[in-house]
Amino acid sequence: MSNRKKMQLLLALLGVLLRVPWAPALSFEASEDMELAPYWTHPQRMEKKLHAVPAGNTVKFRCPAAGNPLPTIRWLKDGQDFHGEHRIGGVRLRHQHWSLVMESVVPSDRGTYTCLVENSVGSIRYSYLLDVLGERKSK
């Protein structure tokens, strides 16, 4: 693929992501073997950066992405790999949905949760802040 075509694709993708009217339309076919660094497919689902929720609630963080080759997603809590193994109640890491779900959050769940999406071409990351309000009330 020529540099000109790559630039057209980049400008078109930026136009889609930033919703700017001056960006060129995607007027050519991208080949399946064309490598693309990861990019956010639905950034509007990621607009709420701070989640302040009462204890006992469910929290869902999303980082919908695409790229070629298909990227992988990893989650970090406060900069460390996070799999939920030490969390009471565990977590659901839904890789096909690009999401992390925690049910019945407690104050110890507070922190910065970062999705790291990467493939052989590049990587992107996004962080959410979680604040858990109060103690969980017993029923």
pLDDT category at 84 given cuts 50, 70, 90 is confident
Question: Average model confidence (pLDDT) for the chain?
Answer: 84
- CA angle 42/48/51 to nearest 5° reads 135
pLDDT tens, position by position, 13-25: 666 566 544 445 4
pLDDT category at 44 given cuts 50, 70, 90 is very high
23-32, 38-47, 100-109: the lowest-pLDDT one = 23-32
Q: Which CATH class is domain 46-133?
A: mainly beta
CA distance 124 to 100: 16
Q: Is the dihedral of CA 108, 44, 95, 31 positive or negative?
A: negative
CA distance 18 to 82: 30
Token pair 């060129």 is found at: 24
CA 70 to chain centre: 14
> Is residue 109 helix, strand or coil?
helix
Rounded to 5 degrees, what are φ and ψ at 113? Answer: -105, 125
